[in-house]
A and B are shown apart, each in its own frame.
Chain A
Amino acid sequence: MANFWQYVISGLATGATYALVALGLALIYRSSRILHFAHGDITTAGTFVAFTLLGLKLHYMVAFFLALLFGAVLAMSFYFCVLIPAQRREASQLGQIILTLGLGLILQGLVAYFGGTETQSFPFPLSDFKTYQIGEVVISQLSLGTFGIGVLACLLFYLLVQKTRIGLAMRATSENLPAAQTMGIPTRQILALSWGLAALLGVLAGIFLAPALLLDPFFMLEPFLKGFAAAILGGLNSLPGAIVGGLILGVAESLAGGYVSIAFKNTFAFLIIILVLLVRPEGLLGKEFKERV
């Protein structure tokens, strides 16, 4: 039984990072109806900025803050400078998705060029080797911090969306864009904000993943795909769904890795997704399909 709880706890910590990635993807999908393929690469770029700034002996807090800001500004500039002009020329949804793919490839190249392709270790204030014992469960300082920051970010994000005026404007914009415009809501700024927030959540996940995964230009590929899967598992247009999906995926792969074989870690996790989607094609908390019927 001790093993079980051990797997659950470490799964929750990984799941928290998936949840952050998934949250960003869901946020963009439900407001712009775009699958954001550059999300992982924006995250990588942001994390490399943090890495570079740490190399310049900046304080952790300052470096991380600037990296988050960088990610947000990057995503917002993409929205304003590429997506809006494309939409003005009536680009299709698929065309816009391809644009995000293009941005991803460009960023990959830039990161490899400026950051180098060799694997580097990411200096971090929390240690992966310093551990705490709670009952029979052992948790590393890093995992604890990751889970804590994940919960905190989700909570703040929830408050922003549900309890503030900007959140109300965001919900209105994603539910019915023309109506939101008629209400005088500046929908472009609101959408840009969603892109920025999504990138911010992504970079946050990247910064907490980098110390455990080691940093290279492709280190976010797997977490990005997992975040994508988690978002779909939760229902792509549901924000709580993205969080639940991320946590379930994290725990599932941890249990599979622990009880079956580490080789089956990913297989088992995606098996669960397939099963859930067979029963509920709209995802755990999604509602889009139901309402169209």
Chain B
Amino acid sequence: MPLLEVDDLSISFGGIQALAEVDFQVENGEILSVIGPNGSGKTTMFNCISGVYRPDEGLIRFREKSLLGLSPDSIAHRGVARTFQNLRLFLHMTVVDNLLLGRHIKFHKNLIHALLRLRREEIRHREVVEEIIDFLDLQAYRQTRVSDCPYGVQKRVEMGRALAMEPHLLLLDEPISGLTSEEKEETAYRINEIRGRYKTSILLVEHDLRIASRLADRMIALDYGKKIAEGSPEEVQRTPEVIKAYLGED
């Protein structure tokens, strides 16, 4: 059974068809890249999966259960975490507090149970967060307010916060855009690491074709809200429609 199944997904805003009958699947443990020019519907698709938008038509099934109609916080509880292209961090809080917020869904719902296990749980949460701090090389910024961190660091915090949720599926929206080329390489390396370390499948929206194809097991391409290609990165990049969408005609 695939981890995520998207079937016949359509949504329009006013007269604009943002997504039209898109279907794809994410298998357990795989990295699937979604490529496409600006405005092709990549972020809209993320917003449908994470519950920000309600699609007009289609199915989204995650671990064999439908996600349609669920609020973003219940979808997070099902094990889907995401990052935002334009970063949505808690700017007035420290880096550590941002990461600890990622642990929020792991807190026990049952209050009495939580009180009994408080210390043990707290230790476990701190451990997970410390591991992420090491993994993302954030030691120097631990107690810094996020608003005072450089962009590259904020980008890492955004990813770290999603990782802290220990999701089954991680949606990364342009994780390397706006970074220096050195940072890009580091981030690409880390994304590849995440899969092994956190046993997470990744759906990756990326503009940078070179890095997207290097990381991906499989790839799909969108243009004007339609899926125009699917397959291995090499196959997708050889598809005439993809070449046309990226380079224009002639």
Contact = CB atoms under 8 A, between A and B. Distances in A.
**Do A and B form a real pair?**
yes
Contact of A181 (B71, B92, B107, B161): B71
Contact of A183 (B52, B91, B104): B104
Interface string B71-95: 1110011000110100011111100
A171 B98 CA distance: 11
Contact of B90 (A165, A175, A181, A184): A175
B73 A168 contact: no
Contacts of A176: 88-91
A178 B72 contact: yes
A169 interface: yes
Contacts of B93: 171-172, 175
Contact of B73 (A165, A171, A175, A187): A187
A126 to B, nearest CB: 33
Contacts of B161: 183
B92 A184 contact: no
Contacts of A183: 73, 76, 101-102, 104-105, 161, 165
Interface string A191-220: 000000000000000000000000000000
A46 B89 CA distance: 38
A260 interface: no
Contacts of B92: 175
B104 A182 contact: no
A186 B73 contact: yes
A188 B88 CA distance: 19
Given A168-B97, A175-B90, A182 B76 contact: yes
B100 interface: yes
A179 B73 contact: no
Q: Which of B71, B72, B84, B107 has the most CB of A within 10 A?
A: B72
B10 interface: no
B50 interface: yes
Interface in B84-126: 84, 88-93, 97, 100-102, 104-105, 107
Contacts of A179: 84, 88-90
Contacts of A171: 90, 93
Contacts of A34: none
Q: Which of A168, A181, A182, A187 has the most CB of B within 10 A?
A: A182
A183 B97 CA distance: 12
B52 A178 contact: yes
B89 to A, nearest CB: 7
A151 interface: no
A185 interface: yes
Contact of B105 (A175, A184, A188): A184
B73 A181 contact: yes
Contacts of A188: 71
A186 B102 CA distance: 13
A179 B105 CA distance: 13
Given A165-B104, A168-B97, A171-B93, A182 B88 contact: yes
A182 B105 contact: no
A250 to B, nearest CB: 29
Contacts of A165: 104, 107
Interface string B25-58: 0000000000000000000000000101000000
A168 B52 contact: no
Given A165-B104, A169-B104, A182 B90 contact: no
A188 B73 CA distance: 10
Nearest to A189: B73
A186 B97 CA distance: 18
Interface of B: 50, 52, 71-73, 76-77, 81-82, 84, 88-93, 97, 100-102, 104-105, 107, 161, 165
Interface of A: 165, 168-169, 171-172, 175-176, 178-188
Top 9 A-B residue pairs of the complex, sorted by shortest distance between their CB atoms: A184-B76, A184-B105, A179-B88, A181-B72, A181-B73, A175-B90, A184-B73, A186-B73, A184-B77
Given A182-B81, A184-B105, 19 more contacts: A165-B104, A172-B104, A175-B92, A178-B88, A179-B88, A179-B89, A181-B73, A182-B50, A182-B73, A182-B76, A182-B84, A183-B101, A183-B102, A184-B73, A184-B165, A185-B73, A185-B104, A185-B105, A187-B73
25 contacts: A165-B104, A168-B101, A169-B101, A172-B90, A172-B93, A175-B90, A175-B93, A176-B89, A176-B91, A178-B88, A179-B84, A179-B88, A181-B71, A181-B73, A181-B76, A182-B81, A182-B84, A183-B105, A183-B161, A183-B165, A184-B76, A184-B77, A184-B105, A185-B73, A185-B104
